Structures are given as C-alpha cells and as structure tokens.
Amino acid sequence: MAMARGGNSTSLSSDLLYDIFRRLDGPSLAKAACTCADFSSVSKEEELWENASRSLWPSTNRDDVSSLISSVGGFRRFYADCFPLIVNDDVPAAQLDSNLPYPDEWAEADYYGDIEEIDIISPSDFISIVDVRYKEKVVCSRVIWGIPDADSYNGWFDNCPFRIDLLNYQDGDDDGDDEGNEVLSVDDGLPPIASIERERRDGKLWREVYDGIKLSWIIVNKRLKQAANLASWSPLGGQRHWPTDWNYLLRFGSILPAKDILPCQVAECIFVMKLSIVNVGNATTLRLTELSMQLEDMAGAHVNGRNSLLVLKEALSCRRSRNYSQVLESCHLYLKAQNELKEEKMRNESWFDRLYIISSIAVVGACCYCIL
C-alpha cells in the first residue's frame, strides 16, 4: 500500500500483485482496490473473490454452489452482496407518533401482499447457504436447495407458518461428508468445565461460546440473481441452560422490510441455534443440535409461507452496511417498538377488563332490581 502512495506501484508486475492480493481477505482486498488504478484493475480478478468467499463461507467450495454463484453474477458480486449485513432504517420505533394498528388487529386475512407478484415467486427459487463457525473451526456447512416441504406449493405452504429446520433436512445430493461435523471440543478452543454445577455458577463456557460462535445464513434467489446474508454473524441474545442445564440457546437475526406485504411494514427474521453439552471435564464437548429460521411480525406471530416469500424477495434488494453497530441499532429499534406495542395492548386489555367488570356489575344489579 505504501508503494502505491509513493507512486511506485508500476514497478510491480500484475502477476506479483495478483500473488499478493490472493493472500488477502475480502475487506483488505476491497480496501486495496480503492488505493490506485493498478490495484483496482488487479482486484477485479474473479479468482481473488472466489478465494475470499471460500475462506469466509466454506459451503461455497461445493461445485454446485460455485456454479450457482457464477450464474447469479460471480464471486465478486456475491461477496459484495453478502458480506455487509442488512440494515433497516424504517423501523416503527423511529416514528414516535406512529399510527400503526395494535397487534390484535393484525389478522392473517389483513396481510396484503401482491397476489400477482406471488404468482411469479416459487419456493424452488430460494437457496440457503449456511455456515456456522466457532473461531477458526467450521462447525456446520450446509446448503438447502429450495424451501423444504414446499415443492408442491399448495395451500398448505401458503397459509402455514414459514420455517426452515436446517439440521432436520437432508440434501438429496449430500454425500454425508458433513455428518458429525457439528461438534466442538477443547481441541477447538472450548474451556473445559469441571461440572454442570460449576458452569451454572460462573458461566465460563457460555461466555466463550457466545463470543466465539458466528452464523451466516445467505439466501440466494436464482431467478432474480440476487443474494443477501440474513443472519447477524454474532448472536443478538440467548439463554443459558434452556430448557435444561445441558443446553444453550442462541438467537441471531435481522429486521427485514415488509412494506405493502405486512400491515406492520417490517418483519423479524429469527435464527435459533441450540447447542448441547455432551461431555464435561477435560473432554468437554458441545454439539450443535438445532438450527432453524423463521419470520415473525411485530405482534410475535409467525408469518405464513406466502408472505414470507415476498418478504425474502424484498430483503434481497434492501440496504446493507459493514457497520455492525448500525445493525444492532436497527434490531434495538425494532425491539423497542415491539415492546411499546405490547405494553399498549396490555393497557387496552386492562381497560377493557375494567369496563367488562363494571358492565357486568351493572347488569347483575339491574337483574337484582327486577327480581325485587
């Protein structure tokens, strides 16, 4: 980089620059591209971005995934689309005087996605590219072609809650090489725990897992030739010892735009990861036992399959950012708005209960008067 600023980059051949650049990760390669014209020219080589993508997302090493990425614009575009995370600035919490309807008014029949648009969207168009890492260890690497159990695209999928259970789905083309790859041990950097009772007190293993685990869940629409990472890389929250002392629950996600799709205008994409403690002591071991994706509206209701496809399609073209604090701010705004709506609903229900009691007393009083 210093050579470029000094004007001596021309002394480096393109082959030498290429050899240097292929050792860089994606962010460093992007910065080098902005340095000078020579660096920019070399950094456009597709193989460089293929190396960066395969390093970050091991699932892209598969031949069928490589072919998919090539068909939707190549690895350079794929990295640019999927490395930044989704940021939604249109969260209702930013509008303090919002006139949003209360959650109890958000009936499924009120969802108003474009009927004509849904006719051209098929579950088979969406591919999930999923990678789970703990530090440098690849815990899980899977690819799902289409939406499981939705190939027939009948009324069942349209109206039932949308959900993808990654670990319960077996790719028909999977040769089984990933079998047993969902295990972490002290050899991967986990701290050993003497007992579950000790872990319950100090939470050392929990903190290491929470800080070290990373999730990428990329959705690709092969027909639209678009892709986006819907997960948040790092956990947004979690629960220790849920539902038992031997389990950890981690929650990832993002806030997706749903304008003209859901009355609340936004949806939360939720990824739930469950890890179970298999062994304790010097052989402390964790196993990834569950990983799922679903969409919820601000009332906490699951979004049906029909509207979920529309939301996912919209998410593929929304704004992204490399600034993780912006991603967190978007999620916090959503949570604030959701809590405010819940509190308002509780106040309204409490007022309704009081009116019901008063009216009931009045009716009983009137009946007693008539009897007398």
* CA–CA separation, 291 and 285 (whole Å): 18
Higher model confidence: residue 157 or residue 155?
157
Residue 15 domain flag: yes
Whether residue 87 contacts residue 326, with contact meaning beta carbons closer than 8 Å, is answered with yes
From 82, 105, 140, give the residue that closes a domain: 82
Here the tokens at position 8 are 């001596």
Tokens linked to 34: 């902005």
Instruction: Please give the pLDDT value at position 294.
Output: 96
| Mean pLDDT of all residues in 138-160 | 83
Three-class SS state of 63:
helix
Same domain, residue pair 137 and 212:
yes
Mean pLDDT of the chain: 81
Overall domain count for the chain: 2
Instruction: Tell me, yes or no, whether 261 and 127 share the same domain.
Output: yes
Residues 6+ apart with CB under 8 A from 114: 260, 310
- Are 254 and 267 in contact, with CB atoms under 8 Å apart? no
In a shared domain, residues 246 and 328:
yes
**Is the domain of 105 the same as that of 236?**
yes
Predicted pLDDT at 230: 96
| Least confident segment among 198-202, 223-227, 261-265 | 261-265
Of 50, 82, 114, the residue at which a domain comes to its end is: 82
The answer as to whether 121 is a domain residue is yes
- Look at residue 248 and tell me whether its pLDDT is greater than 80: yes
The last residue of a domain, from among 62, 82, 102: 82
Asked whether residue 202 falls in the same domain as residue 112, the answer is yes
pLDDT tens digits for 318-349?
Answer: 899 988 888 888 888 888 887 777 777 677 66
Tell me: do 176 and 37 sit in the same domain: no
pLDDT of residue 1: 41
Residues 58 and 144 grouped into a single domain = no
Expressed as residue numbers, the domain containing 125 is: 91-342
Q: Quick one: pLDDT at residue 4?
A: 41
Cβ-proximal residues to 39 (8 Å cutoff; 6+ apart), any chain: 4, 9, 17, 21, 32, 33
In a domain, 133, yes or no: yes
| pLDDT tens figures, 258-298 | 988 988 888 999 999 999 999 999 899 999 999 999 999 98
pLDDT at residue 302 greater than cutoff 80: yes
Q: Is residue 281 part of a domain?
A: yes
User: How many Cα atoms sit within 13 Å of 315 on the Cβ side?
Assistant: 30
